[in-house]
Structure 1
Amino acid sequence: MHFTSDGSSAVAMRDRKPQPISHNFKTFFVAVTLIMANEAATLEEPSYEVIDQTTSYEIRIYEPYLVAETIVTGDFDDTGNVGFRRLAGYIFGENTSRDATDSNRKSAVKMNMTAPVTRHRPQDHSSNVTVYRFVMESAYDRDSLPIPKNSEVKIEEVKGGKFAVRQYRGRISEARFDKQVAELRAALERDNIKTIGEPLSAVYNGPWTPPFMRRNEVILRVNPDPTQSGE
C-alpha cells in the first residue's frame, strides 16, 4: 500500500469526500459581492429621466454630457484593452491641467472613474473601427477639463435627447451584444418607435464583478422626427 508523506494511505485519500464550503467563506463571498455592487452604484453616471418602461426596454431622456473618446482599429471583441488603457491613462494623469502655468506644464489632474464605458461602431467608418468613450464628471466643462497628452484621446459632447435602453447581465461579447440589439430593435418596431444612429454598448462594472451582477446596456437614440425613417 502506498502512503503519503503524512502517513495516510492513498486509498484513504481517494475515499475522502469533498468538504462543504464553510459558512465563513460563503459570508466572505457575499460581502465582497455586495461591496462590488455598492462601488459600481456610487460611480457618477450621465443625468437622465425614465419616461416610459416595458418588459423589454425603457425610454430615457438624457441631458448632454462630455466624454473622453478614442478610436481603435480592430475586431470589436479584441480592441477593448487598447481603448480602455488610452482613456484610463487620460483620467488617471496622462493630461495637463488647464491651470498649469508655463513654468509648470507637468501639472496633471487625477479624475474619478465614472460609468458607463461605452463603445460603438461609427456609421462613417469601416466596420473594423470601434469608438470607446469614458463619461466625464459633471463638475467639469470643456473649459476646465484637463488637456489629453495622448493625441488619440479627444473630448467630445454627446447630445442630449430621447434614448431606448435595454439592460442585460453577464459577460460582454460581440455576439451577445448583437443579440440584445436585435431584440431591442424588434421590441421598438412592435411599438412603432423609430431610432437613428448606431447602437451603443454600455458597461457599468469592471471585469472583477461576477457576471450575474454585471449591468450592461444596449442604447439606441430615438428619432426625434417620427415621420422620417429611422436608422
Structure 2
Amino acid sequence: MRLKRTLATDYQPNKMDGSFIVLIAVLVLFVVSQLWAQSQVKGIETYPYTVDKTYDGFEVRTYAKANFIYVTMDAKTYAKGSSKGFRTLAGYIFGGNDRQQKIAMTSPVVMNMDSDVTMKFLVPAEYSMDQLPKPDNAEVRFATEKERTMAAITFGGFANDGTIKQHKDELFQLLAAAASNTRASGASWATIRPSRLVGRKNEVVVEVLR
C-alpha cells in the first residue's frame, strides 16, 4: 500500500505538455484556414487591367471598362469608412436585395478617399447593369467606370490611414520623378479577401493624365 501511495504521489501531469498540444492545434487550424483563404482568393474575379509600363517602385496600368456597386459614407478616414462600407456592400451581395440573390465576391475592394469615403465592389462580368437585383439598402448604388490609365504602388500588411498616406505620398514622388502628370485624388485598393491574414496585398492608385 505504501508503494501505491508513493507512485500516486509522484505522478503529476505536465501542464506544459497540454499547453503545447493546444498551441500546435491552434497553429494547424490557422495554417489550414489561411491555405483555404488563399485557394478562395485564386478563384475570385478581379478588375481586369494590362500593365503598360513598369517603373522602379510602381507600374502604370490600363484598367478596362467595368461596373461597380458602391456606397458613399460621411467619413473622413479609411478607419471610419471601411467597416461600414464593407458591411453595407456585403449585405447586398449576400442576398440583401429584392430577389434575395447572392452575387459572387470580387477583387479588389476599392476605397476612394476624397472629401467623402466611397467603397466599391466590382460587379462580376456575367451581369449587365439591368440584370442586377434592386438593393434593400437605398445607400447601395451602381456605376460604370470607363477605361482609364492608372499608376499603382503595392504594399503588404493591413492598410490604415497612415500607410495609405505614406504610400500615396511616395507614389506621387515617384510619378514626379518619372515626369508624369497625375490627378490630385488617389484611391486605396485592398486586393485580397478580408479573411486572409498572410500575404495580404494593398495598393494606392492614382489616375494618370496623358
TM-score, normalising length from structure 2? 0.83
Which of the residues 128, 131, 137 maps onto 1:150?
Answer: 137
CA deviation profile, 1:184-218 (whole Å, cap 9, x unmatched): 111111001111252111112234322x4101111
The change in CA–CA distance for 1:189 and 1:8 in structure 2 (over 3 A counts) is same
1:120 aligns with 2:107: no
CA positional deviation for 1:25 = 7.0
1:219 aligns with 2:205: yes
Give, in whole Å, the separation in 2 of the partners of 1:108 and 1:145. Answer: 11
Q: Is the 8 A contact 1:40 1:204 kept in 2?
A: no
CA deviation profile, 1:59-108 (whole Å, cap 9, x unmatched): 11111111111111124112222111111111111223xxxxxxxxxx33
Which residue does the alignment assign to 2:62? 61
State the secondary structure of the residue aligned to 1:162: strand
Q: Is the 8 A contact 2:107 2:193 kept in 1?
A: no
Give, in whole Å, the separation in 2 of the partners of 1:82 and 1:171. Answer: 17
State the secondary structure of the residue aligned to 1:108: coil
Which residue does the alignment assign to 1:227? none
Q: Which amino acid aligns with 2:35?
A: L
Give, in whole Å, the separation in 1 of the partners of 2:164 and 2:105. Answer: 23
1:141 aligns with 2:131: no
Which residue does the alignment assign to 2:82? 80
Which residue does the alignment assign to 1:103? none
Stretches of structure 1 that go unaligned for 5 or more consecutive residues are 1-5, 97-106, 225-231
CA positional deviation for 1:160 = 1.1
Which structure shows the bigger proportion of residues in strand conformation? Answer: 2
Which structure shows the bigger proportion of residues in helix conformation? Answer: 2
CA positional deviation for 1:174 = 0.3
Give, in whole Å, the separation in 1 of the partners of 2:177 and 2:184. Answer: 19
How many corresponding residue pairs? 199
Which of the residues 165, 168, 184 maps onto 1:181?
Answer: 168
Give, in whole Å, the separation in 2 of the partners of 1:91 and 1:32. Answer: 23
Which residue does the alignment assign to 2:193? 206
1:108 aligns with 2:100: yes
Q: Which amino acid aligns with 1:60?
A: R
Aligned-residue CA RMSD (Å)? 2.7
Q: Which amino acid aligns with 1:34?
A: L
TM-score, normalising length from structure 1? 0.76
CA positional deviation for 1:13 = 6.8
Give, in whole Å, the separation in 2 of the partners of 1:115 and 1:57. Answer: 20
Which residue does the alignment assign to 1:228? none
Give, in whole Å, the separation in 2 of the partners of 1:198 and 1:59. Answer: 16
CA deviation profile, 1:161-192 (whole Å, cap 9, x unmatched): 11111111001100011001011111111001
State the secondary structure of the residue aligned to 2:130: coil
